[in-house]
Chains A and B, each alone.
Chain A
């Protein structure tokens, strides 16, 4: 495999275009009017809770499911009449689907059966593919005599040997143990950069999606709720639902007093503040709303600590402390707020972990807040 880092121009071109793609089983809508572009050479993840339609969307792209409505094109070509075996996609199945009666070599070379090139050429490509996934010398093994991680690699090599335009991966790491999973996450990411092929990964593990992806589509109930880079998804979730699905977010009840380039708010526990309009993902409107912030955007101050130069200070009581070695997790009840908020702090040598029940000051910044103007669920 030659590594060709995708040039920026190529990166921008949509490789897969989905236009109002729908899929229903009887009267059950598994996918509702999905319109999005997936770019050439990107690592794209479909993230969502169980049953939201991730696998269905992936299988529609692969051609295993016929779409019930809308249009799907790959590389500018409409896929309506193109069967799965003619599409420029290859798939890594959740169960890996390694052919148990064939050797590793025969599995990896399976897709080359219809390739007109010589036997030696094919053997060389199989060896290269095996080396790429770190299975050099495993070619003659029986496929059923492999560990889970090795099966996964065989499945990868088998799918990549055809140099597809798109590699589809359906929860490829969910069957591995934690350590193996973490190792494969970084290997997959490296492999994707190396081969420059568009990867579409299905996962319900938000951490995995954040670590690996260029862009993530968060799906709920057959719809894409938000499509963004991992950072934007984490910092500017479009709704409370997305915010709750990705990492931890604290919510405080708030009232919007006035809107404009600056939004004036009265936030429980934090007082009256003003934030940028950009910090509200929806359309801001006056009235009841809620404000969210991530656990690491607030800081628990010690007794002698000076007031922070930027930002403000709120008062609270430590309700619970969880010590995690490098981190401590605090549950702090802000003054005037019923539900305690979670704050995570990096542990520093020489600074003891605060005890339960101690009164403390919390430093916070208005820039870290996100305003959700949606009716409370």
Chain B
């Protein structure tokens, strides 16, 4: 009987998790601006409207630029930090790492406000550049956490063997370390990308006139006739994320299988 209770709990949980997402495509193809049942008919007009909405496309462009930049930047910082903490001893290592990981638990609103104040003081103008800055700040702790475990599982003697066979530290990094931590790097890129893509608070504070997608979408809810278009956009985003994650997971598993390692679970 206890088992049954857990089953019901699990099912409720999953419905709660995925039902709203399932609603997206339903209303994206519904021939009405009112989001409610019963459905009134099939249409693809919201999708065609999507392509003509230049301000929306601009927001998509901003978001993509920000997310790609953030995923690369945060992953680079993550690689540096993970490499440093797993291989070298330096004074204040624990304290320093704690400080770097702090944004993980710091409310985003605090980061957003303080960044805004600092940027204003410096006389910087708000743009997607400042959003990239803010997002990199919050994404880096995540990439460090992922990459730390990837670098930690690396046998130190592999590096020494490469050096022993005549390679320089730089070429050893390229030939041995990088291929072996690649699954971790892919995970890190993806996490940073998705953190940035749907981040609202910091983007709202720091984007100025160059709104990112979440900021734009939230603003559009004021206009009821725009809602079905956003549903259409949401549908496309869901499909895109699933495709992206599948591809990434494929490469990650292939990388692990090639290196003969055990799958210690990516984030999928």
Contact A91 B164 (CB under 8 A): yes
Contact A93 B163 (CB under 8 A): no
Size category of the binding interface on chain A: 20 to 34
B154-179 contacts to A, CB under 8 A, are: 155, 157-158, 160-168, 176, 179
Contact A85 B180 (CB under 8 A): no
Complex Cα distance, B261 from A66, in Å, reads 33
B12-45 contacts to A, CB under 8 A, are: none
Is A225 part of the binding interface, using a Cβ–Cβ cutoff of 8 Å?
no
Chain B neighbourhood of A99, CB < 8 A:
158, 161-162, 176
Min CB gap B159→A, angstroms: 9
Chain A contact surface mostly: mixed
Nearest-CB residue, chain A, relative to B261: A100
Among B155, B165, B180, which residue has its beta carbon within 8 angstroms of that of A158? B165
Min CB gap B171→A, angstroms: 8
Stretch at the interface among A109-117, A288-296, A310-318: A109-117
Is A144 part of the binding interface, using a Cβ–Cβ cutoff of 8 Å?
yes
What is the interface size of chain B, counting residues whose CB is below 8 A from a CB of the partner? Answer: 19
Among A84, A95, A113, A158, which residue has its beta carbon within 8 angstroms of that of B157? A95
Among B155, B160, B165, B179, which residue has its beta carbon within 8 angstroms of that of A101? B179
Is B259 part of the binding interface, using a Cβ–Cβ cutoff of 8 Å?
yes
Is A38 part of the binding interface, using a Cβ–Cβ cutoff of 8 Å?
no
Interface string of A52-79 (1 = CB under 8 A from B): 0000000000101000000000000000
Is B260 part of the binding interface, using a Cβ–Cβ cutoff of 8 Å?
yes
Is A11 part of the binding interface, using a Cβ–Cβ cutoff of 8 Å?
no
Among B158, B168, B179, B259, which residue has its beta carbon within 8 angstroms of that of A97? B158
Min CB gap B87→A, angstroms: 13
Is A213 part of the binding interface, using a Cβ–Cβ cutoff of 8 Å?
no
Is B222 part of the binding interface, using a Cβ–Cβ cutoff of 8 Å?
no
- Please judge, given known A-B contacts A85-B168, A101-B179, A111-B166, whether A91 and B258 are in contact too, CB under 8 Å: no
Contact B260 A100 (CB under 8 A): yes
Nearest-CB residue, chain B, relative to A110: B165
Among A64, A111, A114, which residue has its beta carbon within 8 angstroms of that of B160? A64
- Please judge, given known A-B contacts A85-B167, A95-B155, whether A101 and B258 are in contact too, CB under 8 Å: yes
Chain A neighbourhood of B179, CB < 8 A:
101
Complex Cα distance, B156 from A64, in Å, reads 11
- Please judge, given known A-B contacts A84-B160, A95-B157, A97-B155, whether A142 and B165 are in contact too, CB under 8 Å: no
Is A145 part of the binding interface, using a Cβ–Cβ cutoff of 8 Å?
yes
A4-46 contacts to B, CB under 8 A, are: none
Is A162 part of the binding interface, using a Cβ–Cβ cutoff of 8 Å?
yes
- Given A97-B158, A144-B259, A158-B165, list of 17 further CB < 8 A pairs? A83-B163, A84-B163, A85-B163, A85-B164, A90-B164, A91-B161, A91-B164, A99-B176, A100-B180, A110-B165, A111-B166, A113-B166, A114-B166, A142-B258, A159-B165, A162-B165, A162-B166
Using CB atoms and an 8 Å cutoff, list the residues of chain B in contact with chain A: 155, 157-158, 160-168, 176, 179-180, 258-261
